[in-house]
Structure formats: structure tokens, C-alpha cells
Amino acid sequence: MLDIDGSHGEGGGQLLRTAVALAALTGTPLRFRAIRAKRDEPGLAPQHLAAVHAVAVLCGARVDGLALRSQEIVFAPSSLRGGEFAFDVGTAGSVTLVLQALLPVMVAARASFRIRVTGGTDIRGAPPLDYLREVVLALISRMGVHARLVTRRRGYYPRGGGVVEVSLNPSRLRPLCLEAVGQSLQIGGLAHIAHLPMHIAERMGAAALKRLGPRDVPVRCETAIVADEEAIGQGGAVVMWAQFEHTVVGAGRVAERGVRAETLGEAVGSELAADLAAHATIDVHAADQILVYLALAGGESSFTTREFTSHARTAMWLIEQFLPVRFTTSPQGALTRIAVAPR
């Protein structure tokens, strides 16, 4: 049984989600202790409960200690299986974070899946749903895995109730070497709101575009108001992404009460502009999320990123506990080059 200290590195929920995913896809029994030890409210929150439970269902795992605010679990996986599944966080806990745990397992199973997750679709502290679709899923599609994500309903804090369906056919990951972005193709975006005035989405989108400035390729940020019956609660988000010949980089922010729409849009535009100026092949937020797929692909993979975060550093340490791979990092001008290879 592999023993993982949840206080290692950044010590948050991502460490737990990735650990149970890796345990499931490798068939490794896991003891995970000091869950979210570095957070203000340590232990399992509803979205972490949902993520662990969902992964356990996919691999037939026995889980001890799976309770709200529990700080230690034992996760004993059995065999992976495809099929149709439905999971409900029960709160506004993030759907995208639950899918962060599920997607690597689904890919590794090489089976067909149709999964329905209910919860918060655009929640503070988690990737907006459109960032997951337009950036993360776009990146793994370049590795040979095509997941289809359909938004049935948006859900926001505090009620949640958003519904997302993800389908995946059996596929095999291939390595991804991103040493250069290649030709710039276009920049797209979406600023949406629900049960709020349309001008909020318009201001978020306009501020993002202003910070990006003029470009040599088409740039657009669509604005949308979600129909009342297609959303629960008030909320919104702004996401922008740049498509290149070899990669996709993006940025996103979730609407927050008390934070000006312009502030959110400016943050997205500034972040994306910085990645474009640095010629990073993976943006700061996708850098830690893509690592597990690169490790599972076999062979050698690499990319460059503008900022080597504690999330990425922690994920690399954790993946090496489960898989026979080794990560290396090296400076490349203003960027950090991250590579993974079998050991």
C-alpha cells in the first residue's frame, strides 16, 4: 500500500484528486493522510467526497474514511470499467474539479464512457467550465483522446445544480512534444452571465479584449446570457483561448460578487497576453493539469510554461510515486521547460 502525505507541497485538494486517479488506473492500494492539511478547513469537503466516490465507482474500489471533513482515507481499487454513470456533488462544489479526477481514469481504462456530473459549473477557485472544454480537452485531443463535453445546465454558488455530460470512446494517448507554438491561428473567447444584466458579460469581454490589444490574427470574445431555464442561480465567467498550429493556451475567471466585471476581464486578458508574449506552449493553469496525461502517454513529452507553480511541482512529485516516469525541468529564457520520460 502506497502511503501519501497530503501535506506535501501545496497540500490541497488537487493532490488528493490526482492520487486517487493514479491509484485507480494503476491498481495501487493507497493510504492518503493529512487531507488538505494546508487549507483553512482541512479534510474532505463535498466536492472532494464526490471526486473520490466517483473514481471509486469507476474502478470498484473499497474506500475507508470517506466522510465529510475526514483527514485520512484508504483507497483499495479493483478493476476499471466503462459504462454510463451519474454523480452529484450535492452542493455547488466544482464539476470541473470532479472531472479532473475522472478524466485520467477514463482515458486509462480504454473503454467507452458517458458520465453525468451535477454541481457547480463555474465556481471560484476552480477552472471555469469553458476553460476545461476549450483548453484542457483541446490539449488532450492533440494527444489522441477526444472527449465530448455537453453543458446541460449551468450552476453557480451557492446552489449548484449545473449538469454536465462527458462522453469518451476507447482511445490511446500519444506523447506530446511542444517546443514551439507554431503558427498563430485565432483567438476566441466567451463571456457569459446568468440571471444578471447582459452588460456584465459585455464589460468582462471588452476588458479582456482591450488588455489583449491588436493582434495579427482574428480575435473575438462572444458574449452570452444563459436562458433562465438553463441555469440555476446567478453567475458567470469569462474565458479566452489562443489557438496555434501546435497548441492551445488560455485563461479564465469566474464572476464574483463585489468584483468589477472589468477587473475580471482585465485579469484574463493580461494573463493570456503574458503567455503569448513569452511564447509559452502551455499556460500556467493547464501546466499542472496536463502532466498526468503526458506521464500516461509513454515515450518522451515536453512543453514550456511561463511559471513553474507549486501545483505543478507537487503533481510531478506525486505522479512519480505511481508511474515509472521521471520529470525534469530546465530554464529556457524566461520560460521553464518541463519534460517527462520513462525511467
Active site residue 311: yes
Indicate if 57 and 202 belong to the same structural domain.
no
**Assigned domain for 305 exists:** no
Indicate if 140 and 191 belong to the same structural domain.
no
| pLDDT attached to residue 191 | 98
Distance CA 295, CA 282 (A): 16
Indicate if 37 and 149 belong to the same structural domain.
yes
Indicate if 169 and 191 belong to the same structural domain.
no
Q: Which of 146, 173, 200 is the endpoint of a domain?
A: 173
**Assigned domain for 289 exists:** no
| pLDDT attached to residue 10 | 85
| pLDDT attached to residue 292 | 98
**Assigned domain for 316 exists:** no
**Assigned domain for 332 exists:** no
Indicate if 23 and 137 belong to the same structural domain.
yes
The enclosing domain of 247 has a CATH number of: 3.30.360.20
Q: Which of 116, 138, 173 is the endpoint of a domain?
A: 173
Distance CA 77, CA 25 (A): 9
| pLDDT attached to residue 40 | 87
Indicate if 159 and 11 belong to the same structural domain.
yes
Instruction: Enter the pTM of the model.
Output: 0.96
The structural domain count of the chain equals 2
Q: Which of 260, 278, 296 is the endpoint of a domain?
A: 278
**Assigned domain for 91 exists:** yes
| pLDDT attached to residue 11 | 84
Distance CA 176, CA 253 (A): 27
Indicate if 8 and 153 belong to the same structural domain.
yes
Indicate if 230 and 90 belong to the same structural domain.
no
185 membership: H or E segment, kind and range: strand 184-194
Domain that holds residue 264: 184-278
The enclosing domain of 104 has a CATH number of: 3.65.10.20
Indicate if 101 and 221 belong to the same structural domain.
no
| pLDDT attached to residue 294 | 98
Amino acid at site 175: P
Indicate if 9 and 139 belong to the same structural domain.
yes
Amino acid at site 68: L
**Assigned domain for 134 exists:** yes
- Distance, first Cα to last Cα, the chain: 21
Indicate if 162 and 188 belong to the same structural domain.
no
Indicate if 159 and 234 belong to the same structural domain.
no
**Assigned domain for 218 exists:** yes
**Assigned domain for 231 exists:** yes
Catalytic annotation, pick one of 48, 192, 285, 311: 311
Comparing CA positions, the residue from 114, 125, 92, 130 lying closest to residue 226 is: 130
Bridging pattern class, strands 147-155 and 184-194: unpaired
Per-residue pLDDT of the chain (343 residues; tens, 9 = 90+): 999 999 998 888 999 999 999 999 999 999 999 999 888 899 999 999 999 999 999 999 999 999 999 999 999 999 999 999 999 999 999 999 999 999 999 999 999 999 999 999 999 999 999 999 999 999 999 999 999 999 999 999 999 999 999 999 998 999 999 999 999 999 999 999 999 999 999 999 999 999 999 999 999 999 999 999 999 999 999 999 999 999 999 999 999 999 999 999 999 999 999 999 999 999 999 999 999 999 999 999 999 999 999 999 999 999 999 999 999 999 999 999 999 999 9
Contact 256, 236 (CB under 8 A): no
